[in-house]
Amino acid sequence: MDPSSSGIQEPFDLIRLSLSERVFVKLRGDRQLTGILHAYDGHMNLILSDVEETIMIVEVDDENATAGPKTVNVAKRKMDMLFVRGDGVILVSPPSRT
């Protein structure tokens, strides 16, 4: 019962196949990263280079507090090299392979 598409045996294979590729990383705290994956380990600690971090800052209007978040500010910053501690990682997506 091999998965039809590719020879992925375990989830970490997805990460291994993404080494040296640009990956998308979703982090806790409404943060996202894109960067080139250089290394990872079993904790999902990551080493990324040429990183852009996107931080979603939700400002709830006082008057509309019950109507849900209305204002979303996006902050971005770039970093040359980054170590990401694994426990902050929610999702990693490799570049789309077709």
Partner 1 sequence: MEDDNSPPPPPEQQPPPPPSHTGSPTDFLKGVVGKRVIVRLTSGVDYRGILSCLDGYMNIALEQTEEHVNGVVTNRYGDAFIRGNNVLYISADEPL
Two structure tokens written together for 40: 């990872």
- Residue 8 CB coordination number (10 Å): 13
Two structure tokens written together for 71: 């204002």
Cβ distance to partner 1 smaller for residue 26 or 49: 26
Give the shortest CB-97-to-partner 1 separation in angstroms.
7
Residue from 22, 24, 52, 82 that binds partner 1 (CB under 8 A)? 24
Residues within window 29-58 making contact with partner 1, judged by CB under 8 A: 44
- Is 13 near partner 1 (CB under 8 A)? yes
Q: List phi, psi (to 5°) of 12.
A: -65, -20
